[in-house]
Structures are given as C-alpha cells and as structure tokens.
Amino acid sequence: AAHTCTLLSVRSATRRFGGLVAVNQLSFDLYPGEVVGLLGPNGSGKTTAMNLISGALPAHGGQILFNGQPIHALKSHQIARLGIARTFQLVRVLGPLSCQDNVIAGMAFKPRPLFGKAAAAHAQELLQRVGLERHAALPAGELTYIDQKRLELARALALEPRLLLLDEWLAGLNPTELQQGIALIRQLQGSGLTILMVEHVMDAVHALCSRCVVMHAGTRIAEGATAQVLRDPEVVRAYLGG
Ligand code: ADP
C-alpha cells in the first residue's frame, strides 16, 4: 500500500504502440513538495510516461494513483481538474490571444472558476509570477521563445495544480535564461508545488531535483538521489547508447 503521504503513485504502468512497449511496467512514487527528474536517453519512454500520468494516453496496464485515487481510467480534463498540470515539449500557447487571455483559458479546469475582473486579476498575478506582467496585452505569438515558455508555465499554474509535469521546459534556453528558469522552478517548489520534470540539461537536474527516476527502453533502470543515480554505471551506459 502507498504511504499515506504519497502524492502520485505509478504502479507497473505499461503502454504499447503496436509491438513496441514504450513504457514497460514503470513504477515510482512522488511525495508532496518534491522536485523529481524523469531522465533517460531519447526514445526511452519519458514523454509517454508523462502522457499516461496526464491522461493524454490511456495505459494498457498498471495503475496510477493521485492522492490515493485511481486516475488511470480518467480523461485528461478530469485529471487536470484533480490538480495535475503540464507543459509540453513544443510550446502550445494560443498565438493570436493576448497573454492574459492565454492564462484565463488555462483557468478553465480550475476547481473554482473565476470570471470577469477576478479572472483578469488572477491572470495578472500569474503573469507576474513568471515575469510576464509587462506583456499582459501582447498577443502570445509575439513573445520570444523563453517568454512563450514562461506563458505556458503561467497557463499550467492557472489550474492551481498540486502536481506540475514539465516536459523539457528548460530546453533551448541560453545560460542566462537557464539560470532564470531554474530560479523560477525553485520558487514554485518553495510555494509547495510537487514537480516531475523530464530534463536533459544536467546542470538543471543537479540544481533542482532531489531524486531522479531513469528510464531506458521503456523500463526504469535507476531511481534514487540525483548524484548517486547519475553515477550509476547502468545509467551512464544507457546515456552513452549502450
Ligand atoms: P522519450 O520521451 O524518452 O524520448 P517517448 O516516450 O517519446 O520517449 O517514446 C518512446 C518510444 O515510443 C519511442 O520508440 C517512440 O518512437 C515511441 N512512440 C512514442 N509515441 C508514439 C506514438 N504515438 N506512436 C508510435 N510510437 C510512439
């Protein structure tokens, strides 16, 4: 049985694409307030695992519990409403809409929806939280790449999640932006959010993740404290393409 304070429990989750087992009996737990890295070489199943947790894809086996409640048979909007938000590897902001309206759109699945001025005020708070307060009226499509990533984060936060799934949110940033991005994630952790992050930027993994789960060819090959896991010979071999 899961420890009473387990926030997310992935238990033998499995997903196939035809004959390929993209996620093979994957198991791990997340505890409240943790920032955990989901690592592994390209094609190891990380994004598919995130899709199983967020309900974007149904699992073919296993269980996923959030706060002790089974979520593996729920639709993505139901899972969102329970408090799991995500960002995507390729940013998905609504280009023609203003930044403020993008954030308001993200509030659609909030447990207690806001309308009118209250929604606008809350959107402004969220934009401020990610450093976009000056761009509230700007169409999202006119933002720079990092600012679109910030906006995507604000949209995810608009859901008031308890668990945030970040899929390579720090990819493609220059060194200054990376430091800003790391600081922002730290700040979210400080506010009590639990975060599972797929990330290839190892400096960020070291800076942010207390624990990591490492996948290879769909299975979990290592799990534990970040520094130890990244020294694990099997992990090193997997990253070298062995
Ligand atoms: P990662 O995120 O670690 O790079 P993915 O989860 O994207 O890995 O992919 C794991 C495996 O599943 C890969 O072999 C990939 O080609 C395959 N895969 C992922 N999504 C699909 C899909 N929609 N249809 C077919 N195969 C897929």
Calculate the CA 47 to chain-centre distance. Answer: 10
User: Which atom of ligand 1 is the closest one to the Cα of 18?
Assistant: 25
Q: Which amino acid, one-letter code, is at 65?
A: L
Cα(147)–Cα(152) distance, integer angstroms: 8
Question: What number is the ipTM of this complex?
Answer: 0.98
Residue 161, ligand 1, Cβ within 6 A: no
Cα(81)–Cα(152) distance, integer angstroms: 17
Residue 42, ligand 1, Cβ within 6 A: yes
Distance 125 CA to ligand 1 centre (A): 36
Distance 59 CA to ligand 1 centre (A): 14
pLDDT tens sequence across 80-114:
999 999 987 666 778 889 999 999 988 887 777 78
Tell me the pLDDT band of 3, cut-offs 50, 70 and 90: low
pLDDT tens sequence across 144-180:
988 999 999 999 999 999 999 999 999 999 999 999 9
Question: Of 11, 169, 192, 159, which Cα lies nearest the Cα of 77?
Answer: 159
* Of 16, 17, 168, best ligand 1 pocket probe by most atoms within 8 Å of the beta carbon: 17
Distance 26 CA to ligand 1 centre (A): 15
Residue 21, ligand 1, Cβ within 6 A: no
Give domain 1-83+161-242's CATH superfamily: P-loop containing nucleotide triphosphate hydrolases (3.40.50.300)
The CA angle 237-64-211, to the nearest 5 degrees, is: 40
Residue 47, ligand 1, Cβ within 6 A: yes
Of 94 and 123, the one with more pLDDT: 123
Structure-token pair, residue 7: 């926030």
Q: Whose CA is nearest to atom 21 of ligand 1?
A: 17
Where in the chain is CATH 3.40.50.300?
Answer: 1-83+161-242
Contact 132, 140 (CB under 8 A): no
